[in-house]
Amino acid sequence: MSEKHKIEAGHAVGQPVTLRELESHVKGQTVYYEDVKVPRMLHLKVHRSSVAHARILDIDTSRAEQSDGVVSVLTYRDVPATKVWTHFEAVGIAPGAEPILALDKVRWKGEPIVAVVAESLKQAEDGAAKVKVTYEKLASVFDVDAALAPGAPNLFDCWPDNHYLFPDDHAAAQIRFGDAEKAFAEADHIVEHVYNTRPIEQAPIETAGCVAVPGSDGRFTLYTNSQSLSNTRNNAAEIAGISPARLHLIGGTAGGGFGGKVDMAIEPMALLAAMKSKRPVKYRFTREDEMTVSSTRAAWRVSIKDGVMQDGRIVARYVTTHQDVGAYLRNSIYGAFKHASHMPGPYTVPNVSADVFCVFTNRTPSAAMRGFGVMPASFAIEMQMDRIAKALRMDPWQLRLKNAFRNGDMKAHRREVWDAALVETIQATARLSGKDLPEDYKQMSSQKRLGS
């Protein structure tokens, strides 16, 4: 049987598997969106907000329009939908509150206001620099404590306390399982702590970008490095006010993404510019753009309170999490749901109460990054496990084995465990690292608990 057939038959474990694109990468033959060269291609540069929070009193594009090489200038008036729609709004989860180009307010430093399209990138940059925006500055908040403080400035009139309201007016994504209050009252120990993470930029080698090419048949071809081609197509079509059938997206190859290329804001901007100029338009982030205005992994504040028995069993867990989503929601609702459903991690805790809040601040909007929502939850949970072990003077390996999921256990979000492997993973790690576990812990299994 060939290597290909072995892999397709599910026999890849333990076998060397060649990366599908390895040869073309090594030979420099892989085609990226930037390799696309089309005649009469224009370049786009965005004039962005220089302040974190302000009302826009005036947008003056006259000098930009007269600048050498400038072909067209776009403001919110050129955007039919005037907002960024996401696939989450399509299923009724999150409103499309973020404009593709700012209307009456800016809510973060770097928010797009005007797009300038020119014959060369340098001319587009020069034109964008000549845009003049008059602001009425507003007070800003840059962390969840400031955003939730009494009298804090509101980013949105519809969310007066800077909290996003989930469907049915729930203030948070919630998990309720068992009777946590009763279990806490019966616990031998209470262990609680607050864990904080900070925003992280994905920093892919290839920055985000797109080339939008008008066709003679009224369709547009978008060469992109988006990580979400289907959703990007629907999003761009919605913003441009055209049928998705008029868009042909070519992509699938990205020089790194890690979640940072699912924002779906690059493509509609290039599409709108191509529609207005009736010529191909290239829009790409510079490295500075990537590091300063692309979405980041959110900052999270995770408060965990555990009720623990003397033998190490965790019998109750309270979790209160505040996700700093930045100025707009983007994918944050999805991250909040994942964060909530991940509690209490890969451990069986019979009584769980979790509330995950999305809080608006004047930071750069956050979005996806490698397991967003789950990663900060895992970080906080594992730090908490070490804290519990220290409080009980118990071996942290044994604590984890005692509480690890077994097949047949019920997760806090009411899904039965059927593929548990944490016990065996910890045991294998112990063997490889020279950790000597007691014999009864070596005999533990994900199939059942000792004595059951």
pLDDT (average), residues 93-122: 91
87 has pLDDT over 60: no
**Whether the predicted pLDDT of 88 surpasses 90:** no
Closest CA to 99 of 365, 445, 380, 360: 365
Q: Residue 18's pLDDT band (boundaries 50, 70, 90)?
A: confident
- Residue 241 makes CB contacts below 8 A (sequence gap 6+) with 80, 81
DSSP 294: S
Give me the DSSP letters along 206-264.
SPPEEEEEE-TTS-EEEEE--S-HHHHHHHHHHHHTS-GGGEEEE----S--TTTT-S-
Tell me the C-alpha distance between 153 and 148, whole Å: 9
Rounded to a whole number of angstroms, the CA Rg of the chain reads 26
Mean pLDDT of the chain: 93
Check whether 452 has a pLDDT greater than 60. no
CATH fold of the domain at 35-137+203-288: Aldehyde Oxidoreductase; domain 3 (3.90.1170)
- Examine the pLDDT at 1 and tell me if it is beyond 80: no
188 neighbors 315 (Cβ within 8 angstroms): no
- Report the distance separating Cα 155 and Cα 218, nearest Å: 39
Beta strands 352-360 and 314-326, pairing class: parallel
In three-state secondary structure terms, 166 is: strand
pTM, two decimal places: 0.92
Poorest-pLDDT segment among 49-53, 129-133, 226-230: 226-230
Q: What is the structure's pLDDT at 165?
A: 86
* Confidence check: pLDDT of 141 > 70: yes
From first CA to last CA, the distance across the chain in angstroms is 43
Domain ranges of the chain: 3-30, 35-137+203-288, 167-199+296-442
For 167-199+296-442, CATH gives 3.30.365.10
The answer to whether the CB of 290 falls within 8 A of the CB of 201 is: yes
Tell me the per-residue pLDDT of 255-296, one tens digit each, with 9 for 90 and over. 999 999 988 889 999 999 999 999 999 999 999 999 999 999
For 16-25, 244-253, 287-296, 312-321, which range has the lowest pLDDT when averaged over its residues? 16-25
Exposure string of 404-423, with b = 16+ CB inside 10 Å and e = fewer, is bbbeebebbeeeebeebebb
Helix axes 396-403, 374-392, angle to 10 degrees: 120
Residue-level pLDDT at 6: 46
Q: What is the per-residue burial (b if ≥16 Cβ within 10 Å, else e) of 360-373?
A: bbbbbbbbbbebbb
432 CB contacts (<8 Å, ≥6 apart)?
A: none
Task: Tell me the pLDDT tens digit for each residue of 361-391.
Answer: 999 999 899 999 999 999 999 999 999 999 9
Q: Do residues 6 and 16 make contact, with C-beta atoms less than 8 angstroms apart? A: no
Q: Is the pLDDT of residue 92 over 60?
A: no
Residue 11: band (very low, low, confident or very high) from pLDDT cuts 50, 70, 90: low
16-25, 94-103, 437-446: least confident range: 94-103
In the structure, what pLDDT confidence band is assigned to residue 33 with cuts at 50, 70 and 90?
very high
* More reliable by pLDDT, 196 or 3: 196
Decide: 237 and 212 in contact? Cβ < 8 Å.
no
In the predicted model, what is the mean pLDDT of residues 388-397?
98
For 116, the token pair is: 């300038």
CA distance 18 to 32: 21
| Residue-by-residue DSSP string for 416-427 | B--S--HHHHHH
Q: Is the peptide bond before 112 cis (omega within 30 degrees of 0)?
A: no
How many CB atoms are located within 10 Å of the residue 70 CB?
23
Instruction: Return the pLDDT at 450.
Output: 65
- CA distances, 25 to each of 56, 249, 254 (Å): 46, 22, 11
Per-residue model confidence (pLDDT) at position 169: 80
Token duo for residue 322 = 């505040």
Of 100-109, 119-128, 329-338, 427-436, the one with minimum mean pLDDT is 329-338
Return the pLDDT at 227. Answer: 93
Q: Is the distance from CB of 64 to CB of 70 less than 8 angstroms?
A: yes
